[in-house]
Amino acid sequence: MRITTDPSTDPADYVFSHRVRVRFAETDAMGIVHHSRYFPMLEEARVAYLRHIGHPYHELRADGDMAVLEVSLRYRQALRFDELVDIHVALHAVTRTTFQMRYALTVNDEADMPQVRATGVTAHGCLTTDGRPARLPGWLVEMGQPPFSERYPSG
């Protein structure tokens, strides 16, 4: 699979936002978030999004799993210790067997304006409990049909 979407840098283009605070353990000696620590942040926001729309991840796992097939992340400006980060999430490019999630990570500046620190995309596929490819649940395919943002508003 190839990631087919370019994530927007405009927070208004996302249907959901999840806030995290950068922990000391996620940073290096200079207080900057290590590049590998962005991926757990995306995962936390994705799980919060699924919970928000009424499809918590633990329920999805009963029939299989949503494996991450590919990830793209663009670091625009470093995240730092103790910053509050809003992770904006939107569903994109849904097929019968795969879907993509777009992300924009923002931190508000002194004027309370969001500054984009990173953007990313995760591509996912559905697997059965024994690891074979499967079709996505019908609700997810339906949700991927425009205008899904009207049916699943932000939190």
50 is written with which tokens? 């699924």
Stated pTM of the model: 0.88
Below-50 pLDDT ranges, the chain: 149-155
pLDDT of 154 reads 45
Cα separation, 87 vs 65, in Å, equals 23
Give the residue numbers annotated as catalytic, written as ranges: 28
**Phi/psi of residue 135, nearest 5 degrees:** -75, 150
pLDDT of 140 reads 84
Q: Per this entry, what is the length of the chain?
A: 155
Q: Regarding the domain delimited by 11-148, which CATH topology (the fold level of the hierarchy) does it fall under?
A: Thiol Ester Dehydrase; Chain A (3.10.129)
pLDDT of 150 reads 47
- Contact criterion met (CB below 8 Å) for 41 and 22: no
pLDDT, tens digit, 9 for 90 and up, residues 56-93: 888 777 767 889 999 999 999 999 999 999 999 999 88
Q: Is 7 exposed, middle or buried (0-12, 13-18, 19+ CB in 10 A)?
A: buried
Give percent above pLDDT 70 in the chain. Answer: 92
